[in-house]
Amino acid sequence: MRALPEATARPETEAARHGRASAAATERPLRLLTFSTLYPNAAQPNHGVFVENRLRHLVASGEAESTVLAPVPWFPGRGPGAVPAEERRHGLAVHHPRFLAIPKFGLATNPYALWRAARTAFRRLRADRLAFDLIDGHYLYPDGVAAVWLAEEAGLPVVLTARGSDTSQLPHYRLPGRLIRQAVDRADALIAVSAALGEGLVALGARPEKVTVLRNGVDLSLFRPVPDRAALRASLGLDAPTLLSVGHLIERKRNHLTIEALRLLPQHRLLLIGEGPERAMLEACAAKHGVVDRVRFLGAMPHKELPRYYTAADVMVLASSREGWANVLLEAMGCGTPVVATPAWGSREAVAAPEAGIVVEEATAEALAEALRRLAASPPNRAATAAYAARFSWDETTAGQLALFRRVLQERGR
């Protein structure tokens, strides 16, 4: 190669190097390591699907690519079952290293065990010549804590997304609270999936300018009204006003309130989609209140099947005590079905117009029943409900992520 003329062969300034690096970064997709235990896998296709959905739309923009590190808990004689060590989902490489999750002690030990497993897997990825610009971590504990440790050792910036109980509940425990606050302080930036959750991060000590609110969107190509609703309802055996609840059968979903509300709504039926440790209790609750014949437990269901039930239902009910941003609300609305929700963090932001539905003031069976009577007496136009959901596409969220990641990289001089 011919030598440069003497007059131009001078050392490159720091500013020039930074400018050249920034220009190069804009010419190729951002290279992300997406890190979370909340991610679907072959054995649990609906587990953490909200993380996968956001990432899929981000990568579809063509401006980012990602390798997913999604560790799974393991203990001798327990899990993770048929979860593969590696798989491809929607074109993305997903790695599932095991981390030791000790029963009854996991709240204290999981961050360290998770970090050790992730560290080994991450080193292997880098040894395979994979390069990363930034770590995209989801859920503050234990995932976000381990993600910060991983990023600091690798010299990479890290952005954490808070999603609900990691901000509203876990910080009240002594060790998790201390580690969560450290992670919030040491992360380069924080994403909250609702404005209320963003306020929760500030209450944990995050600087307001460090927090960006990026709400989850809804996949309108999937969650849209199914044609011929009358025929659909007939095929599902629905001949009465029908309520629907979708989600894990766990304590914080408070499905017992919806079941109790049925005793005040003698004409209504309830469909419950999901599985979980509360099922036996909920079946007993239905028996106690004399509504067994009006409650159907449908079990877990693939996402692609949900639009049929969302469309067929008259109202979607979510009685949760805590929700950062409940995707099921927008999914139901996208199919034209209004919702009734309790005042969990993100619910008022998702249900902000009459055509969307009603957020009750009190989390009681009586309040739910009253709201359901109001909707039955004056139901919103289903087309208007679907149009309301269309305002929450993934495009704005994707653009917000890209802008935030680029800003973080620029601030770090990468």
Any bridge partners for residue 31, and if so which? 65
pLDDT tens-digit readout, 180-226? 999 999 999 999 998 889 999 999 999 999 999 999 888 889 999 99
CA distance 158 to 189: 7
DSSP line for 164-229: SHHHHTGGGSHHHHHHHHHHHHHSSEEEESSHHHHHHHHHTT--GGGEEE------TTTSSPPS-H
CA distance 222 to 90: 15
pLDDT along the chain (414 residues), means of 10: 28 40 63 97 89 95 97 81 91 96 91 96 91 97 97 97 88 95 97 91 96 91 95 96 95 94 96 95 97 96 94 96 82 97 84 95 96 96 96 91 97 86
CB-CB neighbours of 57 under 10 Å: 17
pLDDT tens-digit readout, 129-144? 889 999 999 999 999 9
CA distance 213 to 56: 19
Identical fold between 28-217+394-411 and 229-389:
yes
The 3-state DSSP class for residue 381 equals coil
Domain residue limits, the chain: 28-217+394-411, 229-389
Its CATH class, for the domain covering 229-389, is alpha beta
CATH topology of domain 28-217+394-411: Rossmann fold (3.40.50)
pLDDT tens-digit readout, 94-128? 999 999 999 889 899 999 999 999 999 999 999 88
- What is the pLDDT at residue 1? 30
Tokens 């963090």, residue located: 345
Is residue 269 within 8 Å of residue 294, measured between CB atoms?
A: yes
Q: DSSP state, 335?
A: T
Q: Is this prediction's pTM over 0.85?
A: no
